[in-house]
Chains A and B, each alone.
Chain A
Amino acid sequence: MTGKIIFGIFVGLAGGFATGAGFVAFLTVLGVIPRLTQLTKTMKMIHYYEGAIIAGVVAGTWLGLQETELSLPHFLLIPIGLADGIFNGMLAAALTEVLNVFPVLSKRIGIQEKIIYLLMALVLGKIAGSLFQWIYFVDL
């Protein structure tokens, strides 16, 4: 029995280690946190941002695995949804940038000055696609 418990703890810990390391590696590659510190000029606080990420991940994991019900007011969902979206948007933008699509694309059709409009196409497309999915597509 004790052996089974120790083995269970070991497997859980190992799984958590691997997933956590992978998550951090993913965030590091995309460079979302450095970008945020650059925008807000808060380079000194980067260790607290690390703490925020870790706390968020642990809290999310725990709440997600439990059947917790906090019974808080509905309007709290709006800031949560917004923050969720902004973070996801930054991830999506970072991925788009890593793919190097825009420099090649703008050179091909010769619109280096108007590249911002292409960017807006992608942004508006993401918003429209997301809204379409949640409001209409899920009911199909």
Chain B
Amino acid sequence: MAVVYIRMRNRVQAKGNQTVRIKDIARIIGPEEVITKIEEIILLTVKKEDKNIIVIDLAQVIMAIRKVDPTIEVETFGPSQTIIEIILSKKKMSYLSFALVWFLLFVGGGMTIMNFHVDVSMGEVHQKIFTIITGKVEDKPLLIQIPYSFGLGMGMILFFNHFFKKRFNEEPSPLEVEMFNYQQDLDRYVIMNENKENVRHLDDR
């Protein structure tokens, strides 16, 4: 009797019509001859009807292994399911939609900051600071306002830890953390809802 250790991968990608073997979705540790046998077990073939996501549960993997050799003892660790993302055709990024979104963000960012300035009477505050510091009255205190405008952009870049491609240090930026959290939420949703093992309705016949 052989003991094998299995660790499911979190997310893998597969092409349409690809046969998914155990080695594609999990790492297996154990005696050499057992591993070579297990790794080639075919779990499923990706079909058109699968749409773009399949969830494979650990239970399915263990069942497949026991079908081949019931004497193998399986120890598991790590995630208990793998999400297979099916890439039917490499989705090409549309430069038009990118340009539109870019323009939207540019104009939107500009407009919101202007509204904000009016809302909090930023101009009056700048005039007042000008008077406090220099003792003169100035309708357009551009000496504060131009550095202010560039500082605004610098502060945002600083917060996101990016200057185009260059980064200030190794830590992930808040935006990257936010993207990661969003992906995790999506994955958790998919795990619960696409996995037939998890949900059982009364009228499921």
A interface with B by C-beta (< 8 Å): 31-32, 35, 38-39, 63-64, 68-94, 96-97, 100, 102-107, 109-112, 114-135, 137-139
Cα separation A98 to B106 with both chains bound (whole Å)? 19
Contact of A134 among B98, B106, B123, B162 (CB under 8 A): B123
A-B pair count, CB < 8 Å, reads 228
Which residue of chain A is the closest to B168 with respect to CB atoms?
A: A39
Q: 7 closest pairs, A vs B, by CB?
A: A85-B151, A89-B155, A129-B110, A125-B109, A81-B147, A81-B144, A103-B182
In the complex, whether B3 has a CB less than 8 A from a CB of chain A is: no
A79 to B117, CA, bound (A): 20
With A100-B178, A137-B114 already in contact, the answer to whether A81 and B91 are too (CB < 8 A) is no
Q: Which residue of A lies closest to B97 (CB)?
A: A109
**What string of 1s and 0s marks CB contacts (under 8 Å) between B106-131 and chain A?**
11111111101100000101101111
Known: A100-B182, A135-B142, A138-B123. Is A94-B159 also a contact (CB below 8 A)?
A: yes
Task: Please name the residue on chain A nearest to B120 by beta carbon.
Answer: A88
B129 close to A86 (CB less than 8 A): no
B134–A134 contact, CB under 8 A? no
* Shortest Cβ distance from residue A13 to the other chain B in the assembled complex, whole angstroms: 24
Cβ contact within 8 Å between B175 and A85: no
- A90-B156 contact, Cβ under 8 Å, with A81-B144, A129-B109: yes
- Which residues does chain A contribute within 8 Å of B171, judged by CB atoms? 38
Grouping DSSP codes into helix (H, G, I), strand (E, B) and loop, the B interface class, with mixed when no group exceeds half, is helix
Nearest residue (CB) in A for B134 is A74
When chains A and B are docked, how far (Å) is the Cα of A124 from the Cα of B94? 22
In the bound complex, what is the Cα–Cα distance between A95 and B109 (angstroms)? 12
Binary contact readout B166-186 vs A (1 if CB under 8 angstroms, 0 otherwise): 001101001100110111000
Q: Is B155's CB under 8 angstroms from A93's CB?
A: yes
Interface centre among B110, B112, B155, B171 (most CB of A within 10 A): B155
Q: A40 to B168: give the CA distance in the assembly, Å.
A: 10
Question: In the complex the two chains form, what is the Cα distance from A131 to B151 in whole Å?
Answer: 11
Q: In the complex, which residues 124-160 of chain B have their Cβ closer than 8 Å to any Cβ of chain A?
A: 125-126, 128-135, 140-160
Q: Which residue of B93, B114, B143, B182 contacts A130 across the interface (Cβ within 8 Å)?
A: B114
Given contacts A115-B179, A121-B102, contact A126 B113 (CB under 8 A): yes
Q: How far does the Cβ of B153 sit from chain A's closest Cβ, in whole Å?
A: 4
* Complex-state Cα separation, A82 to B152, whole angstroms: 8
* A106 proximity list for chain B (CB < 8 A): 179
Interface string of B87-107 (1 = CB under 8 A from A): 000010110011001110111
Check if B133 sits within 8 Å of A125, measured CB to CB: no
Name the distance in Å between B133's Cβ and chain A's nearest Cβ.
5
